[in-house]
Amino acid sequence: MAKPILISGIQPTGKIHLGNYLGALNNFVKLQNSSKYQCYFFIADLHSLTEDFKPKEKLKQILNLAADYLAIGLDPAKSVIFIQSSVPAHTELAIILNNFTPLGELKRMTQFKDKSETAPYNINAGLFNYPVLMAADILLYDAEYVPVGDDQLQHLELTRTLARKFNSKFGKTFVEPKPLLTEISRLMSLDDPSKKMSKSRPAGCLFLDDPPKIIKEKIMKAITDSEKEIVYNPQKKPGISNLMLIYKNFSGLELKEIESRFANKGYAFFKKELAELLIKNLQPFQKRKEQIAKNTTSLIEILKKGNKKAESVAFKKITEVKKKIGLLNI
Ligand code: ATP
Ligand code: MN
């Protein structure tokens, strides 16, 4: 039997941060290596145009994300790795799906509201329609699973709604995808534990590329709560609890074990240990990335091959869609 299909993407908007890693990217690698799925991972460059950008930097950002993908462990021999904008069916299907998307649903989207607040000078229609393009990204490939952070659940629900709606109007065409979440599906910002860590708010991010000195500075400066006990309580102590989740992930210790290891030790001691743990764990990635990023030609080759594979799958689906809605009669 064919393996179920899985797809996900990341925007080439800036450097990958710990939230992207713990909520998505690290899971991509595990899922890929489980050999249980046919995996597609793309660079969501069209989504990234919804925020301010410089054309001269776009290619660099795309190649940088490709290098991140490979350095983390995504493998073009096991997964299709491609660029969203290189497969025109994504935009075609998004335009078609727009017509089945109630405006009210888009108006409710938290990401749209949050980003409109973060960048009030650039609230554009692309940002508003982002969830429709995301639905197209997923539905084109008959994906059953989508590994994402919890901020994308609302968008994924819309994807399911659109799939159902389209299927009932025009006959079974799309698969309704399910999310795959990690234990850390919403890592909070280092400078404000009430907000999610986001590339669009770099001040609160710890980037996977950060050198040891910066990692130390950022962790030592991370907002913690009043009192000084290292106790996991996301409601009452969101700051320290967020850091404890990071510690748990990299050390393999349970939260209770972390609490007893740091009983009576205070925040500063814990933070110093956490910074060291992160530095040690990120170093192998950083070294691999340095090597991979040097070879632009090989990165481009990999993406071109991935684009071709994705294109052949997506083209079939968009052709089926056009036939079903009566556009391909001649
Ligand atoms: P932006 O602020 O530009 O939207 P981002 O940091 O949210 O950037 P994306 O490229 O939009 O990054 O998201 C890539 C993946 O990482 C998505 O699956 C998203 O759900 C996940 N993700 C993003 N931030 C977090 C976070 N703080 N915790 C867990 N997962 C996250
Ligand atoms: Mn995002």
Check residue 120 and give its pLDDT: 94
Instruction: Please state the φ and ψ torsions of residue 39, each to the nearest 5 degrees.
Output: -105, 140
Q: Is 27 in the pocket of ligand 1 (CB under 6 A)?
A: no
Check residue 1 and give its pLDDT: 80
Q: CA nearest 87: which of 46, 53, 48?
A: 46
Position 227 confidence tier, pLDDT thresholds 50, 70, 90:
confident
Q: In sequence order, what are the beta bridge partners of 74?
A: none
Closest ligand 1 atom to 197 CA: 27
Most ligand 1 atoms within 8 A of CB, residue of 7, 18, 20, 200 to mutate? 20
Most ligand 1 atoms within 8 A of CB, residue of 17, 198, 206, 208 to mutate? 198
Is the pLDDT at 330 greater than 80? The verdict is no
Is the pLDDT at 274 greater than 80? The verdict is yes
The yes-or-no answer on residue 196 being catalytic is: yes
Residues 6+ apart with CB under 8 A from 102: none
The yes-or-no answer on residue 324 being catalytic is: no
Q: What is the mean predicted confidence (pLDDT) over 131-137?
A: 98
Which residue reads 């990071």 in tokens?
246
Q: Among residues of the chain, what percentage have pLDDT more than 90?
A: 96
Instruction: Please tell me which residue in 54, 56, 60, 115 is annotated as part of the active site.
Output: 115
The rounded mean pLDDT for the chain is 96
Q: What is the mean predicted confidence (pLDDT) over 187-194?
A: 96
Burial of 226 per CB tally in 10 Å (0-12, 13-18, 19+): exposed
Is the pLDDT at 77 greater than 90? The verdict is yes
Check residue 42 and give its pLDDT: 98
Q: Is 152 in the pocket of ligand 1 (CB under 6 A)?
A: yes
Which residue reads 């935009």 in tokens?
91
Do the Cβ atoms of 135 and 170 come closer than 8 Å?
A: no
Q: How far is the CA of 172 from the centre of ligand 1 (A)?
A: 31
Q: How far is the CA of 16 from the centre of ligand 1 (A)?
A: 9
Q: How far apart are CA 48 and CA 10, in angstroms?
A: 9
Which residue reads 């110093």 in tokens?
272
Q: How far apart are CA 210 and CA 118, in angstroms?
A: 24
Q: Is 10 in the pocket of ligand 1 (CB under 6 A)?
A: yes
Is the pLDDT at 228 greater than 90? The verdict is no
Q: What is the mean predicted confidence (pLDDT) over 150-154?
A: 97
Check residue 328 and give its pLDDT: 83
> In 3-state terms, the chain is what percent helix, strand and coil (to 5)?
60, 10, 35
Q: What is this structure's pTM?
A: 0.96
Is residue 59 within a helix (H) or strand (E), and if so which, with residue range? helix 55-72
pLDDT digits (tens, 9 = 90+) for 4-48: 999 999 999 989 999 999 999 999 999 999 999 999 999 999 999
Is the pLDDT at 329 greater than 80? The verdict is no
Position 200 confidence tier, pLDDT thresholds 50, 70, 90:
confident
Q: In this structure, which amino acid lies at residue 50? A: T
